Amino acid sequence: MRLVALFVFLFSSGILYAQQSSPAIAYPTTDIVVDGNLNDWPKNATSYKLTYVFDDPNRPADDFAPSFRVAYDSKGKHLFVGVEVIDDDHLSVAVGEEGNRDTVTLYVDLQHDTKGGANVLFTAGDEGYTDIFKRSPDFDGVHADFDWEDVTVAVKRMGKVTTYEWQIALGDDLRPMHPIGIDFFISDRDMGEEEAALAIWTPQFGKSLGAIRLGEVLPVSEDTDLDWVEGRVTAADTLVGPIERIKFVNKRHPERWFQTAVDSTGYYKTILPEGTYTVSPTYDLNLDLFSGSHGHETRRITPIAEVKVQVGKTEKAPDLVLKTIAKPKFETLSEGALRAKKPDLKEIDRFIKEHQDYYGIPGVSIALIKDGEVVYNLNRGVKHRITGEKLTNESLYEGASTTKTLFAVMVLRLVERGIIDLDKPLLEYLPFPLIEKDERSKLITARIVLNHQSGLSNWPYPSKFGGPGGWMNGPDITLNFEPGSEFGYSGAAYNYLGRVVAHLTGKSVSQVFKEEVAIPFGLKNTHFTYDRSILDQLATGHYHAFPSYKERTDVDSPASSVMTEAMDFSNFVIGLMKEEHMSQATYESIYTPYTKLTSEQRMYDPEYPQGVANGFFVQETPDGKIIGHGGNNGDFNCKYAYILGEQVGYVAFANNNLGEDFVRDLELFLFRGTTEE
């Protein structure tokens, strides 16, 4: 059955819209001229509605209705993409401090690997506005040569419809029956509105972080046979959770694989070429791609159904019944596995390896400390799931927010020498123009920042202040509360304090870190921030099993930028355990919380007192007073913790978003002897 017979009318305008979310079918053509007018497109070029629209539900339906169509030129090796946006208030030029305008971003992935990959982004608006974003060849060799020379785009406004017409030269990467990853991020801003309406084609934001989040275009010939497949995903137990997407992999041609969305009832329907396909969820865990918080107790089994697509009928696929399996079972111990008089390191090793496999974590770096020395060190797995490059003892992980305690020690050592006063307002040291209009900002001190009471958001939006790469950009910031009055976790505040430290010392924060922390504590493979000299050592972050592709910056971020590994970082933890390199009074200040968390603010064990003490999280538990800090950059998770007075602790790094779950299980086993909450 040809695709043209399968369309349904969804709008009175007579435009034909396909029902399925992916793949989009591209037929050959030689007649398209890229001029922003789609009248010369072939009749079989179906329009696909972008169904994932994020907007104010009270806005009129005709204010923002995007759709697209695709075609290709087999001789010139060009992919054509036509986007139409119905919009009654179109911003053609940049407006406001952020330079907002209506734009369409087109994502392209030529690799289209089931393991994920990178992509290149082309953004266009009218008035000749264009932008391109691609990864460094260090991280993406597939799209490194892509440029605007390979792309022609025309934007045209007619009435309420803005048309974006693209021609992309793909060369030999464009061939019939070879899927290409594409997707969209469409932004519609109305004059006077603070927030934009947004639309994407397939579920999940963060598409630039990994190509697994895109949909597919399938170039076909005129006589290619296609037909519908429908089915249902069901759950055998309540722990499975919602499934957003499933994938179909052709058994004879595994490079021909496609994803389609699953609705809230578990139903899906899509169109595929003839062939026999395996059907399975895109992700094999009972949480969505960006989740990583503890409490998701089980991993999903991914049973593989099989369906044969035949011409002339809508194929009913077998139900995909998903079940969950429990975490690996270990005997509950009378005391923590690491706290035993003689720890069973073989059993601990088995625990770590089985839980790493259970959570599907590509790589872990673990150091366990007993009696003030490392008794166990493990670097297991791969730096990158696609390349399969093995981890070594020198491999580096993003330390994320564990950076904050390294920075806190740096500040506390400067306090001991009188270089900075914990209780002097920071604005008296260094102005911060973005917060100065809020009179309460004059109350912010180093002590208030270290204890997360500044009133600043973690990373204020829409300001670009605070994250690696900036601190002076954006509109004025209003504090969330009076500084010193309550808890409010803020990386931005730490980065402001970092600029104060740099100002007072006349040195970069990285240099101060080297002098105040790295040298005294013996850190030789810990780097305060990224630079190209450590590129070959770096592990790649992952979301589940899929590599994450993000830009790395060489800007010091006291909140998040450290690169390290467990064995080297353990030198810092051992130094803290032994109360070295700072005075006894300073150590007492990191044992006694300045900020006390409410039960709602506590991540784990809400029944036990928790607080913040000059950059460290302190938890009172039946196992003792636990000092430590975690870190979560999304695609990297880590934590270190030790029991005060026992000389027992651990350091753990993981290069995916499930490290938090893994580390929580590990801590319970090491300190409490169980994995039960």
Indicate the domain borders of the chain: 3-219, 226-325
Q: Which amino acid is at 487?
A: F
pLDDT of residue 195: 72
Closest Cα partner for 2 from 48, 41, 44?
Answer: 44
Alpha-carbon distance 595 to 214, whole Å? 43
As a CATH number, domain 3-219 is 2.60.40.1190
647 with 577: CB under 8 angstroms? yes
Alpha-carbon distance 482 to 460, whole Å? 16
**Average pLDDT of the residues of the chain:** 88
Burial of 36 by CB count in 10 Å (0-12 exposed, 13-18 middle, 19+ buried)?
middle
Model confidence band, residue 89 (pLDDT cutoffs 50, 70, 90):
confident
What is the mean pLDDT of the segment spanning 34-52? 91
Alpha-carbon distance 457 to 623, whole Å? 33
What is the mean pLDDT of the segment spanning 214-235? 92
Q: What percent of the chain has pLDDT above 90?
A: 64
Q: What DSSP string describes 462-484?
A: S---SSTT-SS-SS----SS-TT
Lowest mean pLDDT among 183-197, 256-270, 388-402, 489-503: 183-197
Res 639 pLDDT > 60: yes
422-455 confidence digits (pLDDT tens): 999 999 999 888 898 999 999 999 999 999 999 9
What is the mean pLDDT of the segment spanning 534-547? 93
Res 17 pLDDT > 70: no
pLDDT of residue 194: 65
Q: What percent of the chain has pLDDT above 70?
A: 90
pLDDT of residue 472: 54
pLDDT of residue 93: 65
260-301 confidence digits (pLDDT tens): 999 889 999 999 999 999 999 888 776 655 554 545 555 666
| Predicted TM-score of the model (pTM) | 0.90
Strand, helix or coil for residue 308: strand
Res 28 pLDDT > 50: yes
Alpha-carbon distance 270 to 247, whole Å? 11
Closest Cα partner for 360 from 652, 658, 663?
Answer: 658
Q: Give yes or no on whether 3-219 and 226-325 have one common fold.
A: yes
Work out whether strand 610-613 and strand 245-250 pair parallel, antiparallel, or are unpaired. Answer: unpaired
Alpha-carbon distance 307 to 316, whole Å? 8
* Angle (CA) 603 608 611, round 5°: 65
What is the mean pLDDT of the segment spanning 125-152? 86
544-560 confidence digits (pLDDT tens): 889 998 888 888 999 99
| 426 alpha carbon, distance to own chain's centre | 32
Domain spanning 226-325: which CATH class is it, in words? mainly beta
Beta strands in 3-102 (DSSP E): 8-9, 16-18, 24-28, 47-49, 52-54, 65-73, 78-86
Q: 130: Cβ–Cβ under 8 A, 6 or more apart, which residues?
A: 122, 123, 124, 148, 153
